[in-house]
Chain A
Amino acid sequence: MGDTKKPDKDGGTSTPSPLNPKQQSRRDFLEGAGATAVVTTAVPVLGISAANAQQADNAASAPTTSIRLTVNGVSHSVDVEDRWTLVELLRDQLDLTGTKIGCDRSECGACTVLMNGKPVYSCSQLAVWADGAEITTVEGLAQNGQLSTLQQAFVDNNGPQCGFCTPGQLMTATALLNNSQSPNSDEVRSALVGNLCRCSNYNAIVEAVVSAGEKQGGVA
């Protein structure tokens, strides 16, 4: 393995290292270097700009709103910052981390939840817009420790590969099966088109939903 304490090739052990707090205090660390510099804005700087900076966001001045919403049958009263997305509320404040953030831009579907029974991208809904809504997430599918027919079908048909898109696929498919009887594979594909799977386990996912639809029989 070699001697891991050998000095780095061009840094040497004399470079102050933030890894060793004894060498350099946090205060020293934060006292940075250099004179004030000018930010060049001649090129696109996505999401980050001097204009944004002038608003000097911090939690004390960010507008908040009190909202009430029901998540998986449980009622919540919560103060949210107006800028929080629904998925942030679910994951960060309500500790429901089953819903995933894949892109945060409505391009992948991993964040799909049901809002008043309809699939929506929770990354692109402000939490405040969910005031008064009924939200269902993947944590709300199993009842009394029993997997839903759809969840069981995913287990039986190798629905998840890495599993990251799975909660979103399940939510959209749950809405489909709530409204359709035994959809065929074309109908399943159309309904789930807004849920990507990069493992590309599409065929198995469709097989699972079709199978669940057949087992479930009538409209729920």
Chain B
Amino acid sequence: MKKNLLFTLLGSLCLFFACKEDDLREAGHEHGKTETKQVTFREFLNSEGHRSEVQKIRKYFHGTHPGISNKGRDSLNWEIDTAGITQIITPEVTTYTFRVIEYDTISGFRNVVIREYQDETKAFLVHYPDGVDYENKTEANVIVEQLESPLFRAAECYVLRYQCLQCGMTMCNVEPGWVLIRSTCSDSGGGGGGYNPDPDPYDPGWPTDPGNSPWNENGGGGSGNGSSATPCDKLRQKSIDQVFKQKINFLKVKVNEHPHEWGWENYNPNEMYPTPGNGTNKYNTSAEGTAMTYEVREWGQHVTGYAHSHPDRPEVMGVHSTEDIYQFAAMVKRRYQGVPPGGGQFEVNSTYGIVVGTHGVYAIKITNLDNFVNSYIFSDRAEWDKFWLDFEENYNRKKPVGNENNNQKNNEISILKTLQYYYSTIGITLFRASDDLSKWDQLSLNEAGTDVVKTPCN
């Protein structure tokens, strides 16, 4: 039964240790009954808000919501992100997986999982201290702690493994997936060896990277494509996404090492049109451009972000070009106008366009979606053509020319002036990361337009 629970809870395949013929049938059977979907916070509350366990953890929810309010950031160093909730339903178990917004730097990332099993609801804080490498799918440690438990319970440890979930004679019968395997906790708090083949009732569902973009958010009846998490929140989440940081650091090396641009896209395969794939928050491998531009290889409504290097050359600015800003706008437009598998609207707050240049790591994000939607998306063709022609010419006149002028301050001022000039049309704001990528600042101009003002996201 415990194995059965694990199969169903994880919604997939057979475990490494359980690839026996009997279990194969069982897993395959349960696999067909598992439903995974994204729900809004309002839908979650309508369904589960009355439960005492949900009431007990209400202080952890981010922001203020009808009928439920948080305790405030003063007393918490983390909150539950109410955007992009993953619901997994099996015949026995229903789980809700939430991202966690961290206000202090932690290793890896955390989720909160609310689980209903045999008429009992429990909430767990699930910590992936090393993150989850969705790309290379290496094993990861998991630490699980029950929230608001009436009895003291020590944290319990697991190993997250990507493996065949339904084994045939020589190969997987269905696509592999993530499974949790109980392990002993080491002194360092992470999981170690000694796998216990018995799954535990506290299995925490799918890991949901906080940097991941939700696929089907309606924003709880709000603005549709927005979410309760601000652009700053979303960047903070990226700051604890280890895979993201590794990939940005890779580009940082390329800035000085290579005369060509390198870059990648961040995307959710399960949002692909017309045939959704498996997984979320994937990155393609960093690739070298053939010339001075990087090759865009992943494009569509499922793409939520891009990053590329600007090589350290005297004539290259270390911030976004018109082309980069346009690419970001096109990405947001695709998300805004796209339709997720299963209907609804995409969330766009998590979209980003990052340039890694000589003077830092810069992100552009939408901070006023209404401006973008009303003035950019719905402009007519002639207006649209003229907009980009004028945008480019305006930016061109502000760009520092000459090697001696190509410095951080001049570059930032030129892009900030341009974004400010067109803010009422595109609603885009510039952010800069700290050297170690742990913090982000929103950048703006002082009143005279002569200096850059930093407003910390943290």
Same complex for A and B? Answer: no
